[in-house]
Amino acid sequence: MNSLYIARESMIHRLDPRTKILFVLFIVISSFLFKDPAMQLILLIGMFPLVLLSKLVKQYLMSMQFLMLFVVLIMTIHGIYNPIGETPVFEIFGGLTFKYESLVYASVMSFRILVIGTAAVIFVMTTHPSDLAIALMKWKVPHSIAFMFLSTFQIIPIIAREAKIVMEAQQARCLDVKANIFERVKHLVPLFAPLFIITFVKVHQLSYVLECRAFSRNGVKTSLRETKISSLDYMFISGMLVLLLTELYLSFAQQISLTTSNLLVSSLFAVWAVFFIVIVKFVYKKVSVFIGG
């Protein structure tokens, strides 16, 4: 796998990368407009149909697991210890009290992570890097910057593989990579110096190759892949515009607050429950591998 992109035949995949960039921006703005956890939750749930449409539910859930770790930590620690909290909501194991204000703060922060994370994951998993480069060029981003963006995707797996070879090559010179932590810090040089040299050589040679492929030639450039703004994109963009205006109205004119302490407590429990499931799954996997041999 070269990047996080996963090919599917879906409406979301067909959207122009520029539309999807706007979408990510829209979500980020929306998420910061609302200081109300309930609205964040609505945003999060509101995006789930898009995940369904992109046919990447499983992959999406997998990538969210990692974010859950942050969410659990933030919800729990801030909920208890954040000094802005005054009104106790409920108490666990004698003395540790979750307070309303702290929970509001913590859940806005954690839901925001999930909301923006979801938008980013949808974007990255449904957008082909080459299309992104082309789209950027249509926005008058210089050719070379768009290419750099693209080649970064390409070079990461190569560097990862080279890093493994360097590791082995240095072990063959009796470098003990499993030594104590102080030793290991010292070992960063023999691992990174060769990796740096090798990457440098590769990039240098690639620059010659690109020249030989007429990279810096003036004139019109063409592309094999087609990216076109279609009626679907216009619909999507208009939809976002309408929603954005509504959100602005709601957040400034109305000052709505749907949040109740019940909602907060149930979110907290829900987050714990999800995290617990993730942990159980993880342990189960490890154990079954161990037992399976």
Partner 1 sequence: MEPFIKVTGVSHVYPNGVTAIQDVNLEIGEGEIVAVLGSNGSGKTTLVKHFNGLLKPTTGQVTVGNMNTKKERIAKLSSLVGYVFQNPNHQTFLPTVRQELYYGCKNLKISEEETEKRVKKAIELFELENLLDANPFDLNSSKRKEIGMASIMAISPKVVVLDEPTTGQDHKGCKRVLELVKMFHEHGHIVVLVTHDMQLIGELNCRVVIMNKSRKIADDRADVVFKNQELLKTADLQPPQVMELANQLTYLNRNESYLTIDSIVKWFKHNKKGLEEERKIGTGS
Partner 2 sequence: MSNRDAIVVENLTFQYPDTETPVLKNIHFTLKEGEVLGIIGRTGSGKTTLAMCLNRLVPTVIQGNLEGTISVFGQDISQRSVADMADKVGFVFQEPENQLSQMTVEEEIAFGMGNLGISREEMKYRIQETLKQVGLEGFEKRSPLALSGGQQQRLAIASVMAMRPSIMIMDEPTSMLDPRGKNEVYDVLRKIKTYGMTGVIIDHEVERMASYCDKILVLDDGEVIMFGTPKEVFSELTLLHEMEMNAPQVTELADRLRKELQIDVGSPITVEEAVKAFQIVSIK
Q: Please report, as ranges, the residues that interact with partner 2 according to CB under 8 A.
A: 2-3, 128-130, 147, 150-151, 153-154, 157-158, 202, 205-217, 219-226
Query: To which H or E segment does residue 241 belong?
Result: helix 231-249
Considering beta carbons, is residue 196 or 282 the nearer one to partner 1?
196
Residue 163 CB, shortest distance to partner 2, in Å, is 15
Task: Find out whether 146 and 137 touch, Cβ atoms under 8 Å.
Answer: yes
| Residue 125 three-state SS | helix
| Residue 99 three-state SS | strand
Task: Find out whether 112 and 120 touch, Cβ atoms under 8 Å.
Answer: no
Residue 80 CB, shortest distance to partner 2, in Å, is 47
Task: Find out whether 288 and 82 touch, Cβ atoms under 8 Å.
Answer: no
Considering beta carbons, is residue 69 or 193 the nearer one to partner 1?
193
Task: Find out whether 199 and 151 touch, Cβ atoms under 8 Å.
Answer: no
The site for partner 1 (CB under 8 A) is made up of 162, 165-166, 168-178, 189-190, 193-194, 197-198, 201
| Residue 172 three-state SS | coil
Considering beta carbons, is residue 35 or 202 the nearer one to partner 1?
202
Considering beta carbons, is residue 61 or 175 the nearer one to partner 1?
175
Judged by beta carbon distances under 5 to 8 A according to partner kind, the member of partner 2, partner 1, none in contact with residue 205 is: partner 2
Judged by beta carbon distances under 5 to 8 A according to partner kind, the member of partner 2, partner 1, none in contact with residue 233 is: none
Query: To which H or E segment does residue 98 belong?
Result: strand 96-99
Helix axes 37-53, 261-292, angle to 10 degrees: 40
Judged by beta carbon distances under 5 to 8 A according to partner kind, the member of partner 2, partner 1, none in contact with residue 214 is: partner 2
Residue 165 CB, shortest distance to partner 2, in Å, is 13
Give the span between the Cα atoms of 282 and 68, in whole angstroms. Answer: 13
Give the span between the Cα atoms of 154 and 175, in whole angstroms. Answer: 30
Q: Which two tokens stand for residue 277?
A: 């499931």
Judged by beta carbon distances under 5 to 8 A according to partner kind, the member of partner 2, partner 1, none in contact with residue 25 is: none
Considering beta carbons, is residue 196 or 276 the nearer one to partner 1?
196
Residue 167 CB, shortest distance to partner 1, in Å, is 9
Considering beta carbons, is residue 130 or 170 the nearer one to partner 1?
170
